[in-house]
Amino acid sequence: MPGPMYSRIEEKLRTALQPTTLEIVDDSAKHKGHAAMRGVTGGETHFRVTAVSPKFEGKPAVQRHKLVYEILDQELKNGLHALSITAKTPAEYQKLQGS
């Protein structure tokens, strides 16, 4: 069952981006023993996000990532330590799936 951070990330990205595909993976367990994570409570600190949205049309990768960071600003200030982002348009994603 997804935790509260996962749920907030999913809700915010679905609302803001209206993605055709949204995949969220909690990688926090892989980083539990790292020095930067000692003493961190809550456990949900590292996520991988793949978002496919028409809202990325005409935007370079840097702007797409900036948009995702802006959407998740509060989470990044409150426990979300690392976020790996793949942000594609539907056409880009379809091309990747076909190859």
- pLDDT tens-place string over residues 4-50: 999 999 999 999 999 999 999 999 877 565 444 444 455 788 899 99
With respect to residue 76, please indicate whether it lies within any of the assigned structural domains.
yes
Range of the domain at 78: 4-27+47-92
At 15, list the tokens. Answer: 């609302």
With respect to residue 9, please indicate whether it lies within any of the assigned structural domains.
yes
With respect to residue 40, please indicate whether it lies within any of the assigned structural domains.
no
With respect to residue 55, please indicate whether it lies within any of the assigned structural domains.
yes
With respect to residue 34, please indicate whether it lies within any of the assigned structural domains.
no
Q: Give the pLDDT score at 34.
A: 47
Query: Amino acid letter at 34?
Result: H
Please list, in sequence order, all residues whose beta carbon lies within 8 angstroms of the beta carbon of residue 44, skipping any fewer than 6 positions away. 3, 4, 5, 6, 26, 28, 79, 80
Q: Give the pLDDT score at 99.
A: 59
With respect to residue 13, please indicate whether it lies within any of the assigned structural domains.
yes
With respect to residue 32, please indicate whether it lies within any of the assigned structural domains.
no
pTM: 0.85
User: Which among 88, 97, 4 is positioned nearest to 50, based on CA atoms?
Assistant: 88
Q: What is the mean pLDDT of the chain?
A: 89
* 23 strand-pairing partners: 50
Given a cut of 50, is residue 93 above it in pLDDT?
yes
With respect to residue 35, please indicate whether it lies within any of the assigned structural domains.
no
**Mean pLDDT to the nearest integer, 55-82:** 95
Domain count, the chain: 1
Q: Give the pLDDT score at 42.
A: 57
Q: How many CB atoms lie within 10 A of CB 72?
A: 21
Q: Look up the CATH number of the domain holding residue 83.
A: 3.30.300.90
CA atoms within 13 A on the CB side of 13: 29
